[in-house]
């Protein structure tokens, strides 16, 4: 049984003072010990959020990393800096990084590798666009992103990697994949991981992301291969995020 992971990606929202206020609220409502909770604030808010959440069971994550220890890379942030800042998880290859900043599978694979090397957990994001979905290319796209993104990861290292399936057409659109649609892709991802790494695939956490909200969290989490969620918009408000964190696995009666 994998431990569920509920992760919030704040994207480019919340100033350090807003993040601080949110972290204080989050600390009050996160009282579970059968699930992991993670927040990924923007870089300037990492330090203050860490200070507030230190000693709790809420982890801190980064939304990005540059795949080098240090160097002349103006504007970038290294894994050493993140580690020292108390970061446990790093989102790698989010679709916004792929689409807006042109990140390739090869570049993303370097991020995944270096995050593991520095003792943190990468969350490798994969997922098809609407056009690819409509062309029936979902499995092909997801398999390629998975195999490429994990190409330098060993059978031992994979136990410290999280995968997030985020169909691009569902991110920030309010249009989520149904739990059944997501389950089919998650099962395919697990099958591919098994081909790549063997039986350890059963223990790899595969998160769903894309318009997760209080209204759909219980049904999503009831699916066998959905081991958690990566939440954007609904992680910015304490009411919606705390409801998502407090999920109860319930299957739809439909």
- Name the residues that contact ligand PEP, by CB under 6 A: 9, 11, 166, 171-172, 209-212, 230-234
Lookup result for tokens 């507030």: 52
94 among known catalytic residues: yes
Q: Which two tokens stand for residue 251?
A: 């299957």
* Closest approach of ligand PEP to the CB of residue 66, in Å: 20
* Closest approach of ligand PEP to the CB of residue 28, in Å: 23
The one catalytic residue among 94, 128, 219, 223: 94
Nearer residue to ligand PEP within complex by CB, 9 or 78: 9
* Closest approach of ligand PEP to the CB of residue 164, in Å: 7
The one catalytic residue among 96, 103, 128, 166: 166
Nearer residue to ligand PEP within complex by CB, 23 or 125: 125
Nearer residue to ligand PEP within complex by CB, 109 or 211: 211
* Closest approach of ligand PEP to the CB of residue 182, in Å: 12
DSSP secondary structure of the chain: -PPPEEEEE-TT---HHHHHHHHHHHHHH---SSSEEEEE--GGGHHHHHHHHTTSSEEEEES---SSSS-S-TT---HHHHHHTT--EEEES-HHHHHHH---HHHHHHHHHHHHHTT-EEEEEE---HHHHHTT-HHHHHHHHHHHHTTT--TTGGGG-EEEE--GGGTTTS-PPPHHHHHHHHHHHHHHHHHHHGGGGGGS-EEEESS--TTTHHHHHTSTT--EEEESGGGSSHHHHHHHHT--------
* Closest approach of ligand PEP to the CB of residue 165, in Å: 10
Nearer residue to ligand PEP within complex by CB, 13 or 191: 13
Q: Which residue is nearest to ligand PEP (CB)?
A: 232
Nearer residue to ligand PEP within complex by CB, 127 or 197: 127
Q: Which residues are catalytic?
A: 94, 166
């Amino acid at each position: 049984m994998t431990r569920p992971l509920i992760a919030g990606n704040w994207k480019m929202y919340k100033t350090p003072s807003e993040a601080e206020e949110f972290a204080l609220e989050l600390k009050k409502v996160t009282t579970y010990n059968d699930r992991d909770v993670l927040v990924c604030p923007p870089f300037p808010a990492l330090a203050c959020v860490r200070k507030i959440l230190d000693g709790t069971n809420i982890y801190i994550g980064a939304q990005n990393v540059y795949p080098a220890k240090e160097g002349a890379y103006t504007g970038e942030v290294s894994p050493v800096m993140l580690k020292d800042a108390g970061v446990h998880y790093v989102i790698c290859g989010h679709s916004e990084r792929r689409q807006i900043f042109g990140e390739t599978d090869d570049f993303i694979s370097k991020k995944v590798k270096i995050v593991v090397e520095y003792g943190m957990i990468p969350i490798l994001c994969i997922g098809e666009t609407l056009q690819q979905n409509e062309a029936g290319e979902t499995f092909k796209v997801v398999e390629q992103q998975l195999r490429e993104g994990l190409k330098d990861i060993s059978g031992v290292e994979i136990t410290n990697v999280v995968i997030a399936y985020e169909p691009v057409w569902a991110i920030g659109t309010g249009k989520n994949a149904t739990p059944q649609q997501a389950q089919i892709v998650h099962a395919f991802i697990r099958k591919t991981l098994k081909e790549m790494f063997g039986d350890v695939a059963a223990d790899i956490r595969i998160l769903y992301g894309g318009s997760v909200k209080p209204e759909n969290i219980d049904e999503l989490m009831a699916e066998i291969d959905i081991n958690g969620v990566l939440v954007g918009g609904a992680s910015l408000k304490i009411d919606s995020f705390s409801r998502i964190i407090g999920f109860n696995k319930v299957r739809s009666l439909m």
